[in-house]
Amino acid sequence: MSTTDLPALNATLNAISAVLLLCGLWAIRGGRKALHRKFMIGALAASAIFLVTYLWYHALHGSTLFLREGPVRVVYFAILISHIILAAINLPLVVLTAYRAFIGDFERHKKIARVTWVMWMYVSVTGVLVYLMLYRWFPGKA
Ligand code: HEM
């Protein structure tokens, strides 16, 4: 595997997080707490690996330019900027939500879990979209 494969790996990890988040929600809606725990730990692992491979890629490679002009450029940057801002806000929220669950404080876990879940899902899905727009649908240059 080379550095050029990392964006596809990162997008795949985002997609895996999104699927595991859906599974985790489905599990807790059905009252299956142990299963919810497993799916959420899986989502945490996928996002933690993503964070490492994302930082690795950007340390080695820097940024890739989005070259397309017109409305698609506005859409791309709206998605990218909202993705970056919410990812930064979401990171401490995910840690706090998981922490509250791990110490067994489920009342307080529940208080922030929905917001964390929705934000995490948005960040994961837009992560895949940014990859598709930048590398697949409207390829830029290094
Ligand atoms: C950051 C990761 C996590 C997120 C985003 C998350 C999300 C959620 C959501 C959306 C709910 C439903 C809340 C509601 O009904 O309003 C929930 C409930 C619950 N979660 Fe998590 N969860 C996470 C991690 C965990 C972990 C690691 C555990 C176990 C150690 C866990 C245990 C529970 C339990 C037991 C409930 C049910 C609480 C109750 O109904 O009293 N969660 N979680």
The pLDDT confidence band at residue 140, using thresholds 50, 70 and 90, is: low
Please give the model's pTM, rounded to 2 decimal places. Answer: 0.93
Q: Both tokens of residue 32? A: 């299956």
pLDDT in tens, 14-59: 999 999 999 999 999 999 999 999 999 999 999 999 999 999 998 9
Mean pLDDT on 114-140: 95
- Cα 36 to ligand 1 centroid, rounded to whole Å: 7
Quote the percentage of the chain above a pLDDT of 70: 98
Query: What is residue 109's predicted lDDT score, i.e. its pLDDT?
Result: 98
Pocket of ligand 1 (CB under 6 A): 25, 28, 33, 36-37, 40-41, 94, 97-98, 101-102, 106, 109-110, 113-114, 116-117
How many C-beta atoms lie closer than 10 Å to residue 108's C-beta?
14
Whole-angstrom distance, CA of residue 80 vs CA of residue 130: 6
Query: What is residue 3's predicted lDDT score, i.e. its pLDDT?
Result: 82
Query: What is residue 1's predicted lDDT score, i.e. its pLDDT?
Result: 74
- Cα 70 to ligand 1 centroid, rounded to whole Å: 42
Q: Decide if pLDDT at 4 tops 90.
A: no
- Cα 42 to ligand 1 centroid, rounded to whole Å: 13
Query: What is residue 6's predicted lDDT score, i.e. its pLDDT?
Result: 93
Q: Which domains does the chain have, with CATH numbers?
A: 3-137 (1.20.120.80)
Contact 11, 131 (CB under 8 A): yes
H-helix segments, 30-62: 33-61
